Amino acid sequence: MLRADDLVFAHPGQQKSYHFSLEARPGEVTAISGASGSGKSTLLDLLAGFIAPVSGTLTLDGEDLLSFPPEARPVSLLLQADNLFEHLSAQDNAALGLPRGTPKATGLQQVAEALAEVGLAGFEAKQVANLSGGQKQRVALARTLLRNRPVLLLDEPFSALDDDTRRTTRELVGDLTRRHKWHTVLVSHHADDIAALASVHYRIVAGRLERV
């Protein structure tokens, strides 16, 4: 279980502080909602290690995560923008999730399997610039699969998608979360996404998480 216990953070020069406590279980989506500026991105930054709390604890299955820098945390982050390299192929973008030193033949097989798992079998050579928004997010999910990290942080990942693509992509995220036992934390202001995916829903009110 991913657990945050009274993570406290305050931006320099501001008196307002945040106090975050939550639990995210493997194989489930934990949703975070709140008004603009309420602290949703701040919470994700704390979980990812981009900012450090003043106090509190953050653990995964009892292991302290606060001592790890962002690159060493067992965390993947998927944003509204897919952060892909448009001039590279789907295969080359997904391969960025492979561990360093992976033999080429093994890597190619793993990339093909990951792309197939997200519904992009046969898309290996397609240039990302020529893919649809939904297909790009699937490439980003394939890269996440290859990173093989147990915590997935999602920051409004479906906002740029049309309704049908949004539905099928979030279904894929739910399926991957259950299949790979990810601890998925979804930040969203869309009630439909939360209703469709979340096992647990927290709302940020006055700088604190409240379970809905």
Sheet architecture: strand order including 183-187 = 63-64, 55-60, 2-9, 18-24, 208-211, 198-205, 28-33, 183-187, 151-155, 75-79
> What are the residues facing 8 on neighbouring strands?
19, 55
- The predicted pLDDT at position 160 comes to 81
Calpha distance 59→43 (Å, rounded) = 14
Asked if 180 contacts 114 with a C-beta cutoff of 8 angstroms, the reply is no
Residue 134's φ and ψ, nearest 5 degrees, are -65, -40
- Between strands 198-205 and 28-33, the pairing is parallel
Calpha distance 184→157 (Å, rounded) = 12
Asked if 37 contacts 203 with a C-beta cutoff of 8 angstroms, the reply is no
- The predicted pLDDT at position 82 comes to 67
pTM of the model: 0.92
User: Which runs of E-coded beta strand occur in 75-159?
Assistant: 75-79, 151-155
Asked if 85 contacts 93 with a C-beta cutoff of 8 angstroms, the reply is yes
Calpha distance 85→72 (Å, rounded) = 23
The per-residue pLDDT string of the chain (212 residues; one tens digit each, 9 = 90 and over) reads 999 999 999 988 878 899 999 999 999 999 999 999 899 999 999 999 999 999 999 999 999 999 999 999 999 998 876 689 999 999 999 999 999 899 999 999 999 999 999 999 999 999 999 999 999 999 999 999 999 999 999 999 888 889 999 999 999 999 999 999 999 999 998 999 999 999 999 999 999 999 99
